[in-house]
Chain A
Amino acid sequence: DVKVTQSSRYLVKRTGEKVFLECVQDMDHENMFWYRQDPGLGLRLIYFSYDVKMKEKGDIPEGYSVSREKKERFSLILESASTNQTSMYLCASRERPRTDTQYFGPGTRLTVL
């Protein structure tokens, strides 16, 4: 079974803080993704990574950055958290080229006060 884990299920931060969200997958997948989910907006792609040290912007990258130093780990960074970044953050990974299916972690509910 593919396992994608996220460092925290719930997180509360203050405006202006630097926030790190960590994601780890144990299946040696090349591709990893960060999404946010908001009511009425579905899942929106923030960033994704083809492989180690490779990244590409998704649809809503503003205010975020990412880091992928090791294949199994993909970090999402909020340089200066703002209240409009309160959301559910979901990490996913995908094995290429055998499958197009993305496997998701349990999500991190981030609240920025």
Chain B
Amino acid sequence: DQQVKQNSPSLSVQEGRISILNCDYTNSMFDYFLWYKKYPAEGPTFLISISSIKDKNEDGRFTVFLNKSAKHLSLHIVPSQPGDSAVYFCAGRQGGSEKLVFGKGTKLTVNP
């Protein structure tokens, strides 16, 4: 059972426009969500997180929105830059657990 779903394997946007990456989850016990960015041949890098008690968290060009009733979160990147081209992973953590559950990732390509 896939608890964290990233239904779009890839996304392509133009430089300067908004990138929206989506993530759905099924486990209502998740209380914390994270986004990671991964370049080829490198380890994932933490990007931004959000607690389930919030519906929005912003850090520079990156904003994560959480809709608990829909069990949906999204990552917005504005404006998108070519250096943002990477695979983005969404992850959820169940309260009291040490483990993160990752989605399969979305490959973002930002075209100059």
Contact = CB atoms under 8 A, between A and B. Distances in A.
Interface of A: 4, 9, 31, 33, 35, 40-45, 48, 50, 56, 58, 90-92, 94, 96, 100-107, 109
Interface of B: 6, 9, 32, 34, 36, 41-46, 49, 89, 91, 93, 98-100, 102-105
Given A9-B41, A104-B36, 15 more contacts: A33-B99, A42-B6, A42-B89, A42-B105, A45-B99, A48-B99, A92-B43, A94-B98, A96-B98, A100-B32, A100-B93, A101-B49, A102-B34, A106-B41, A107-B42
Q: Which of A91, A96, A102 has the most chain B CB within a 10 Å cutoff?
A: A102
Contact of A42 (B41, B43, B99, B104): B104
A107 B100 contact: no
Q: Which 5 A-B residue pairings sit nearest by Cβ, starting from the closest?
A: A104-B43, A42-B104, A43-B102, A104-B44, A42-B102
Nearest to A41: B104
B15 to A, nearest CB: 26
A101 B99 contact: no
Contacts, number: 56
A102 B100 contact: yes
Nearest to B9: A40
B46 A106 contact: no
Contacts of A33: 99
A49 to B, nearest CB: 9
Given A31-B98, A43-B89, A45-B99, A101 B34 contact: yes
B2 to A, nearest CB: 9
Contacts of A105: 43
B83 to A, nearest CB: 18
Contact of B43 (A56, A58, A94, A106): A106
B48 to A, nearest CB: 10
Contact of B99 (A40, A41, A58): A58
